[in-house]
Amino acid sequence: MKNIKNNPFLKVRKNKYDAIPFDKIKTEDFMPSIEYGLEQARENIEKIKHIKDRPTFDNCILSFETSSEFLDEVSTTYFNLYGAESDAEFKKLAQKISPMLAEYKSKILMDEILFGKVKKVYDNRKSSNLNDEQIRLVEETYKSFVRNGALLEPDKKEKLEELDKELSKLGPKFSKNVLDATNAFELHITNEDKLSGLPDTAKEAAAYTAKQKGKDSGWMFTLQFPSIMPVLTYADDRGLRKNINTKFGSRAFGDKFDNQDILKKIAALRQERAELLGYKTHAEYTLQERMAEKTKTVEDFFERIFSVAMPAAKKEISEVKALAKELDSLNNIYGWDAKYYSEKLKKRKFDFDEEELRPYFKMENVIDGIFKVANKLYGLKFIQINDVPVYHPDVKAFEVTDDSDTFIGLLYLDLFPRETKQGGAWMTTYRSQGYYKSKIRRPHVSIVANLTPSTDKTPSLLRLGEVTTIFHEFGHSLHSLLSECTYRSLSGTNVYWDFVELPSQIMENWVTEKETLDLFAFHYKTNKKMPDELIQKVKKAKTFNKGMMNIRQLSFGLLDMAWHAHDPRAVEDVEAFEDKAIEKTRLLPKTKGTNSSCGFVHIFHGGYSSGYYSYKWAEVLEADAFELFEQKGIFNKEVATSFRNNILARGNTFHPMELYVKFRGQKPDPDAMLKRDGLL
């Protein structure tokens, strides 16, 4: 093996909890670490292949599970930083690292000798005195081999390996283009009249951005969500709204960062891969490992939502149009008008403007509130620590313990936008809970987001939607932090993708409850609690325009399935294909020059291909599950303990529906989400 003893990944660590040495890692450390990890992993695989004894759970399955621990740590760190903190030089490495990892995975999972040993353990699993989790690991390991070509003929194995290598390069290219297109746009405004209607917080943030960008005066707007949302919601200048809306919707579409050819290639290669493995489409292949199981199930699910939500959405949009006509004599409205007039309609109906909430949502208070919710539900404590390295000054590290001071895990929070970070919000792990380095270890978890940052005058004050986002991602983090599995590949969020959103989306329900808001929603200047009257307005407005919101999410789900539930290789015109796919959900005229597919990182690099429906699917589960909390009390210890023990702790050790029924006592009501949204 290569001598890389001074590499920070290999050096003996004195960091608390064996934390990643972010302060020591440089870009040039990754390639030698990946190469070393691959060499080490291959040696471990060869040892398994050449064991003379009968293949057993320990000498085969567990040895395979732990064969690439070093490689896993390095590659996980690399790709986590790729999304959270990486420059152009760092990103270039993906074009080398991704195919190397894809080739390794393909060769291992198509190795006849190795598969033969795995199959022997699989065939004898019921008579080998294994516990339920061991049997589950055997079955999941066997399936991973089969689903990655172990049963194919040699020539088809070779073809599959080529496809996987090519796909591994295209995903990072796609997401890099979206980020580059996002960063390429800057709108500098010097005439304050154009900012009419914008809240002071938005103007102040734009002025601060202008200063950071080297401008002596004026206001700077970018395509980051904290910048564009106030414009689309409040700016009286219709031209400004149109400009921002159009630029955001046209990212990586037809410009120098164009993703059209890349996404067509990704979709085509996925289809070819699925056919090679004996499936009609990529969706059919993917859904075999989902609760939905079949394309028809997803289509029927979508049709049920459409049948209920579309009539409501049409009524809602007609009200918005009527207000636009009344206030500004508009005969038609477009994408850049919808949020603006919807906000005015909400104000009229409920005497409620979400900007009223911002002073009560100081970021530090919101985080403190999330921690208090976790304490009341699960007895967790979060202590900020400074003796763990972080990868950027914005990142904060927290030690998580339970009420008996037992270490639960490490939590990193990285909450504000920067040009080296992908847009959106997500939870990820640097170390999954489970067996690692010869013993069962606790997880290291990270929440990454792009929230409204502080300025030189005002602290970070969040929109209600941003608060909801952080509660959502925190739900994912609890799924990882509270995992109590033996094996990492089964632990935490390593579950079916249409189940993984249940722990995250159920957390959103706590955001607007008075019992929750009383824990943290204090005015950042007066420290007074959010008034009950304002909380009631928030509650009353919860179902406002839910028909439109459901249809919007449905359009993304339909677009995903259009690319993946049919053969996409004949698609030439990305725009025309998309228009046809989502035509039935269109409530407003199409904005010329925009395209969702080209910026749809979730499905073309984020792991949600054939799975975007999961968000709505999980809403059914969480709406049904939260009913139990509402019946017994949102901080009821008995219900919380059951949710923890039966859902959060179990990972993928049982089928998700089995876990859900253990918690709820019954299967979910398929209409629970529609009822919760006031549509039934």
CA distances from 207 to 192, 221, 455 (A): 11, 9, 9
pLDDT tens-digit series, residues 153-164: 999 999 999 999
CA 382 – CA 39 distance, rounded (Å): 39
DSSP for 536-572 reads HHHHHGGGTTHHHHHHHHHHHHHHHHHHHSS--TT--
> Any idea how long the chain is?
680
DSSP for 95-145 reads HHHHHHHHHHHHHHHT-HHHHHHHHHHHHTGGGTT--HHHHHHHHHHHHHH
Nearest to 223, CA basis, from 261, 262, 257: 257
pLDDT tens-digit series, residues 173-198: 999 999 999 999 999 999 999 999 99
DSSP for 587-602 reads -SPPPTT--SGGG-HH
Q: Spell 466-495 as b/e; 16+ CB within 10 A means b.
A: bbbbbbbbbbbbbbbbbbbbbbbbbbbbbb
CATH number for region 16-109+111-147: 1.20.1050.40
338 class by beta-carbon count within 10 Å (0-12 exposed, 13-18 middle, 19+ buried): buried
What does the pLDDT average to over 212-220?
A: 95
Question: Which phi and psi (to 5°) does residue 436 adopt?
Answer: -160, 130
pLDDT at 253 over 60: yes
Nearest to 306, CA basis, from 647, 678, 674: 674
CA 331 – CA 589 distance, rounded (Å): 12
pLDDT band at residue 431 under the 50/70/90 scheme: very high
pLDDT tens-digit series, residues 515-542: 999 999 999 999 999 999 999 999 999 9
87 class by beta-carbon count within 10 Å (0-12 exposed, 13-18 middle, 19+ buried): exposed
Residue 473 designated active-site: yes
| Topology of the domain covering 359-543 | Neurolysin; domain 3 (1.10.1370)
pLDDT tens-digit series, residues 20-66: 999 999 999 999 999 999 999 999 999 999 999 999 999 999 999 99
Question: Which phi and psi (to 5°) does residue 612 adopt?
Answer: -65, -25
DSSP-based three-state secondary structure for 199: coil
3-state helix, strand, coil in the chain (%, to 5): 60, 5, 35
Residue 559 Ramachandran class (φ > 0 left, ψ -120 to 50 alpha, else beta)? alpha
| Residues in a beta bridge with 397 | 385, 412
> What is the H or E stretch that residue 412 is in?
strand 407-414
Q: Do β-strands 381-385 and 396-401 pair in parallel, antiparallel, or remain unpaired? A: antiparallel
User: Which amino acid, one-letter code, is at 474?
Assistant: F
What does the pLDDT average to over 191-217?
A: 95
According to the model, what pLDDT value does residue 98 have?
Answer: 95
> What six digits make up the tokens of 430?
């640097």
> What number of CA atoms fall less than 13 Å from residue 620's CA on the CB side?
19
Average pLDDT over the chain, rounded to an integer: 96
CA 255 – CA 183 distance, rounded (Å): 13
Residues of the chain with CATH 1.20.1050.40: 16-109+111-147
Q: From the candidates 473, 501, 619, 622, give the one annotated as an active-site residue.
A: 473
pLDDT at 4 over 90: no
Q: Do β-strands 439-441 and 407-414 pair in parallel, antiparallel, or remain unpaired? A: unpaired
Q: Are 668 and 647 in contact (CB under 8 A)?
A: no
pLDDT band at residue 256 under the 50/70/90 scheme: very high
pLDDT tens-digit series, residues 318-373: 999 999 999 999 999 999 999 999 999 999 999 999 999 999 999 999 999 999 99
> What number of CA atoms fall less than 13 Å from residue 56's CA on the CB side?
8
Residues of the chain with CATH 1.10.1370.40: 359-543
What does the pLDDT average to over 260-287?
A: 98
- Which residue blocks in 351-409 are alpha helix, DSSP H? 363-378
pLDDT at 1 over 50: no
What does the pLDDT average to over 91-117?
A: 96
Q: Are 676 and 542 in contact (CB under 8 A)?
A: no
Place of tokens 């925009």: 594
According to the model, what pLDDT value does residue 2 have?
Answer: 53
According to the model, what pLDDT value does residue 3 have?
Answer: 59
Percent above pLDDT 70 for the chain: 100
Q: Are 410 and 399 in contact (CB under 8 A)?
A: yes
Place of tokens 């972080």: 390
Q: Do β-strands 444-448 and 426-431 pair in parallel, antiparallel, or remain unpaired? A: antiparallel
What does the pLDDT average to over 606-628?
A: 95
